[in-house]
Amino acid sequence: MRAPTAWPTARSTRRGFLVSAIAGALLLTTGYEAPADTARPGTARSGDGRAWVGTWSAAMTTVPESDDTAFEDQTLRQIVRTGIGGDTLRVRLSNEFGEQPLVIGEARVARQSEDGPGSRIEPRTDRKLTFGGRSSVTVPAGAPLLSDPVDLRLPEAADLVVSIHLPERTPATTVNAFAAQTNYVADGNVTGRTDLADATTTDRWNFLSGVSVRTSDRSSAVVALGDSITAGTAPDANNRWSDHLARRLAESRSGGRHGSGDRGVLNKGISGNRLLFDPNPPAGHEAEAYAALFGESALRRFDRDVLAQPGARHVVVLLGVNDLGHPGTSAPESERVSARDVITGHQQLIARAHERGLKIYGGTITPFKHDTLGFHSPENEAARQAVNHWIRTSGAYDGVVDFDKALRDPEDPERLRPAYDSGDHLHPNDAGNKAMAEAIPLRFFR
């Protein structure tokens, strides 16, 4: 939603499409049931009671034109906190925002050292990644790349290390710029080295978009689709609301209070993301230096970031605050939207999820009175209330997650509860993230 002070800059994305293109969406009812032949959408079953299900994911964006970050004969060592476990895994790389082929010289995967955080791996867990049997491969511009299966037992909530050698000059065009995770960059091909003591650090994930595990075909994934309120956590803390939800699901399952099968939770939050529009900073505005990192609109990225996720069966949506707040700040006034526009966008997400047999749950927009980004106004507050009323009462979503109720101040419901406020009166802190996860009924995922 706002640029950190140290944001780098890069290529702008395509202009957002008109809200009128989706104005004909139909209001759906609560009577929806998934057809029998799509009861487990996205789950690749093998006939032996096993399936591929996502255990970690990140949403990718392009970069602003002014961002000239590039790698050449360097190794990226990137760390992710997985959710559900399995005995075999696959890694998904992405060149989906690249304009030239991405050359992978070598890639490896390992568990992070049990000695603690850092670039050190457990050597006994080190495995080489192959792609169609090849250890070196070129990814076409605009394409993802899925590794061959790797035999590596992965427990729940593991810290997995993915090391990628980039032998040729490679612009860093496909990124998640808000990883809140310390990652490493080292010279040369050092993918197999136990520790990268001389590496520099970065807080981005570059070219790395997913990890899936082979597990019970009773398992499935929950996709958290949102903006910075979904993506945010203190650095290296793994305290996003999606992380807390994954812990709740694991505890519930181990306590026998949940349906059979594991539930992976995949975070597809992007700071600054909007439901209806792509980034479109006004000419000369400081947002030109960072707005591309806000990512394509949720309507544009829904197929890639939700429907294509392995094992996806449930979606929790938290979007709309940037659609209200960006026009007049980091987007032009011409993109100002009404509550009806936002509702129509939500209706499209519901229709597309139901078409593929996914259950989809609507999150109410959280309070932002007195925010430091200039989002709040009487008109925007009225629109927020109207959208939330529709989410709560229309029956269009398969269920409601009342994030607003979980975070609002009882003394002034238009603002965040002080104990949950990160300081800008818009973004919750990690305690707020925990409260959000606790507001999600686990019965949704049985």
Place of tokens 């209200």: 324
User: What is the pLDDT at residue 217?
Assistant: 87
Q: How far is CA 344 from CA 21, 91, 145, in A?
A: 10, 35, 34
User: What is the pLDDT at residue 184?
Assistant: 98
Q: Does residue 178 sit in the same domain as residue 235?
A: no
User: What is the pLDDT at residue 253?
Assistant: 80
User: What is the pLDDT at residue 351?
Assistant: 98
Q: Does residue 298 sit in the same domain as residue 441?
A: yes
Domain boundary among 172, 205, 238: 205
Place of tokens 């602003």: 64
Domain boundary among 149, 173, 205: 205
Q: Does residue 197 sit in the same domain as residue 223?
A: no
Query: Over the chain (446 residues), what is each successive 10-residue block's mean pLDDT?
Result: 36 34 33 35 62 97 97 98 96 98 98 90 98 98 98 96 98 97 98 96 98 94 98 96 97 62 94 98 95 98 98 98 96 98 98 98 98 97 98 98 98 98 98 98 94
Decide if 131 is inside a domain: yes
Q: Does residue 201 sit in the same domain as residue 227?
A: no
Q: Does residue 199 sit in the same domain as residue 242?
A: no
Q: Which of 202, 213, 85 is nearest to 147 (CA)?
A: 213
Q: Does residue 385 sit in the same domain as residue 333?
A: yes
Q: Does residue 355 sit in the same domain as residue 408?
A: yes
Tokens of 178: 């808000």
| pTM greater than 0.85 | yes
Helix axes 339-355, 378-393, angle to 10 degrees: 30
Q: Does residue 335 sit in the same domain as residue 360?
A: yes
Tokens of 409: 């101040």
d(CA 430, CA 97): 31
Q: Does residue 139 sit in the same domain as residue 77?
A: yes
Q: Does residue 200 sit in the same domain as residue 223?
A: no
Beta strands in 310-420 (DSSP E): 312-318, 359-363, 399-401, 408-409, 412-416
Q: Does residue 196 sit in the same domain as residue 223?
A: no
d(CA 152, CA 154): 6
Q: How far is CA 209 from CA 139, 147, 232, in A?
A: 14, 12, 17
Query: Domains in the chain: how many in total?
Result: 2
Q: Does residue 322 sit in the same domain as residue 229?
A: yes
Whichever domain contains 375, its CATH number is 3.40.50.1110
In terms of residue numbers, what domain contains 412? 19-38+219-445
Within 10 Å of residue 198's Cβ, how many Cβ atoms? 10
User: What is the pLDDT at residue 48?
Assistant: 72
Identify the three-state secondary structure at position 434: helix
Decide if 5 is inside a domain: no
